[in-house]
Structure formats: structure tokens, C-alpha cells
Amino acid sequence: MNIYDYIKNNNNEIKEINELDAMIFSRLSYIHIENIKDKLPISINDLSKIKDLKTNKKDLELLNLIGNNQRFKDLEIERCEDILDKDMEEQFTGITIKINSNTIFIAFRGTNKNIIGFKEDMNMCYGTIPSQISSKDYLNSEKVYKNIYIAGHSKGGNLAMYSGIYSDRKHQKHIKKIYNFDGPGFLKLDRKFYNIKDKIINYFPESSIVGRMMYNDNTIYAVKTIKEGIEAHNVYNWIINGNTLKIGKLKKISNDFKSVCDHILETIPSSRKKIIIDYIYSLMLKGEISNIKELNIKKIKLLLDNSPKLTIEEKNELTNFFKILIKAMLPKIKKPKEINLKNLSLKEHHK
């Protein structure tokens, strides 16, 4: 069973929000509601009737299902904020769904296909990013409701956590749960994280890659998936067991990837990480890394070796990082040196 089956089998009014509802609302944030802000507030039923709404096929099917479902169709999307700023290197989207007079659900979008969003993702490795600040501001500017739920997928999961951790007291005390669907953690965990830790729930695929980046000192529920590697990041490949996600355990490749990421965080200073990230981004802008499907270990090593900005130690660290990354993305391939990402289908995939 998948998330579509859950919708088809649940036509009752929402009395209590569960992780599958949260996952559905997280996917709603990927629909380009920012293009119809003049129509807000809008019911999910009315939203599903809008023609030529910009989204992908999976999310469109989801929207059509919930638009005709008693559990979801009368819920209203009240608000949407969207930022795409090249100079600030920010890609941010947040939406607010009104569940009832006492309850709202805030969902943050993950990375879209814009290169600015990808650069912002990389910037998370050395400091606070603009989207994190925007997520906190978005929550703080919301009307205070008795019950506040927050969620996001991928980078959106990180934003959901950040907004709750650093929100003002009057909002924070009304937060019931924060759902993180395979979103990365943080460079450091401070006192404010531990103040709200018990409200955060992490759902990662068994072969999680994105969610294992950086630090997140909280329980991880490892979800069984119909696909592995990077395709497991896509929540439409997550397995449903009745009204819950089917839980398994994290796989060795995910734990190995986590170890490599932690080692890089601990050995390369933030100032050097910024130089490395800016270098990789410059290669993308110049077209030397134009298509991830054409990237392989040989090409990565050549690009790193030719960089005058990287030390020998950093080149070795990054080469090992990319080896384990590609192995994690494509677990069926046994020899990482021979990996070519042409084998990976990223169609309709969102981080």
C-alpha cells in the first residue's frame, strides 16, 4: 500500500492528525500555490479543480484524490509565502492549512529544480541559510492557534524543525508535533533544540541519504520503501501499513554515509567548506557540472584534482564522500568507480 491507498480508504473527517496526513500536507507545499495567491483562502476541493496548476503528476494525482475526499476536501489553504532570491541564494515556500477553528498545519517545501535551491542546500553545510530564517519568521507571523502542527519533506523537514526550535514563545507553546520527512539536521544542537526535541518526529527511508546529513539527536523511524537509494527519498515510494507508515530499520549503507558526513563536518572547518561549496557551484554555473546524470567518480576526481582552491586532504575527503554518496544513491551497483548516474531516473523527483 502507498499514500494513495490511505486516502482512498479514509473518507472520515479529521479528528486527530497522524503522520500520513502530515506527509500529504508536506506534498501539498510542492504544488505551486504561490501562482494563485490571489485566490487564497481556497479549499482543497476548489484547488483541485483549477486547470493548468503547476505541479508534477504524482502530486496532481494526490491533489485530485484529496480534493474529492471527505477527510481533506473542505480544509482551506489560507496562506502561502514564496521567495526565490538569486542574490540571497534563497528558495523558500511555506503554506498554512486551516484544519478547524483551533488548529492549523504549516508545511514547508523542500528543494525544487532551481539551481538557487541546490546552492542553498549546500550552504547548510557551513552556516544558517536564509530559508531557515524565513521559516521562523513565517511561523512567528502566523496567528496563534491552540494547536499548531508543522511538517516538511527534505529541506522542508529541516525548515519545519528550525521554525519550531527558534520560534517565539507564544507560538512554540502551542506546537503539538513537528514532522520531519527525511530532512537533514543541523551543524550543532543547542539548548533551544533540546527544549522542543520531544515534539519532533523523524521519518526516514531505510536507505536514507538526505536525512542523515548533519546532526539530529532524536529517534528515527526508518520506513520501508518499494525502491532503494535516492528513489527511496521520494515519499510516493514509502510503504503504508493501514493508517501508519511501515517501519523497519536503517540500512548499513545509510549508516556508512552518515559516518562519512560526520567525519567531514568534524575535520573540515566551516570557512573551508564555504570555499569548497562555492567552487563546486562555480563549476555548475560554468557548465562543467551541467547534468548530474552524466557525473561519475572519474569526472568528480578530475574536477577536484584540478582545483587550486582545495588541499590534498580535502580532495581525498571529497572523493571518498562522493564515492559513498553515489553508492548510496545506486545501491545495486557494486563498483563505485564504474558508477555513472545515467542509470538513475530523476524524472518527477523532488528533493
| Residue 342 phi, psi dihedral angles, 5° rounding | -65, -25
CA 94 – CA 34 distance, rounded (Å): 9
- Predicted confidence at residue 290, as pLDDT, reads 54
Rg (CA), the chain: 20
> What pTM was computed for the model?
0.90
Domain with CATH 3.40.50 in the chain: 3-252
What is the rounded CA–CA span in Å between residue 235 and residue 61?
14
**How much is the pLDDT for 323?**
81
Name the residue among 145, 139, 130 with its Cα closest to residue 161: 139
CATH of 3-252 given 3.10.20, 3.40.50, 3.30.1240, 3.30.70: 3.40.50
- Name the 3-class secondary structure at 109: coil
Give whole-number Cα distances, 181 to 109, 148, 156, 309, in Å. 11, 17, 8, 35
Let me know if 159 is exposed, middle or buried by CB neighbors in 10 A (0-12, 13-18, 19+).
buried
Q: The C-alpha cell of 178 is what? A: 513537528
In the prediction, which pLDDT does 199 show? 98
Q: In 88-121, which positions are buried (b, 16+ CB within 10 angstroms) versus exposed (e)?
A: bbbbbbbbbbbbeeebbbbbbbbbbeeebbbbbb
What pLDDT score was predicted for residue 188? Answer: 93
| Intervals of the chain under pLDDT 50 | 336-351
